[in-house]
Amino acid sequence: MMVCVSVKGVGMKKEVVAVNEYGIRLGQYHHRSKLTDHEVELIRRLHEEGLSYMQLADKFEVSKSAIAGICRYQRRAQTPCDWRTVVIDELEH
């Protein structure tokens, strides 16, 4: 059994993050994000250099359809409508 203890100010930091028109965080700060913004840019660059969706999916341990959506700018391509300051758990990112 694992017990997590949150101590105010320890392991936490304030960060300004992009949000969409509904106030939902974008990019690596979205609650279901599996990839960092840096990894998304790297995926797009590697695909442009000739790596296949399957090679990228294996390398980044996500599905082939997730890679295809990223490379086609169907995923991780929203434009921020606003910016918010939030408290981020440093252990998660």
In DSSP terms, 88 is beta-bridged to 13
Mean pLDDT of the chain: 88
Q: Where are the domains of the chain?
A: 13-89
How high is the pLDDT of residue 5? Answer: 42
Fold (topology level) of 13-89 = Arc Repressor Mutant, subunit A (1.10.10)
Largest CA distance in the chain: 46
56-73 average pLDDT score: 97
Measured CA to CA, the distance from residue 77 to residue 79 in angstroms comes to 7
Name the pTM for this structure: 0.77
9-28 average pLDDT score: 88
- Least confident range of 7-11, 14-18, 24-28, 29-33: 7-11
Question: 3-state DSSP helix/strand/coil percent for the chain, to nearest 5?
Answer: 35, 20, 50
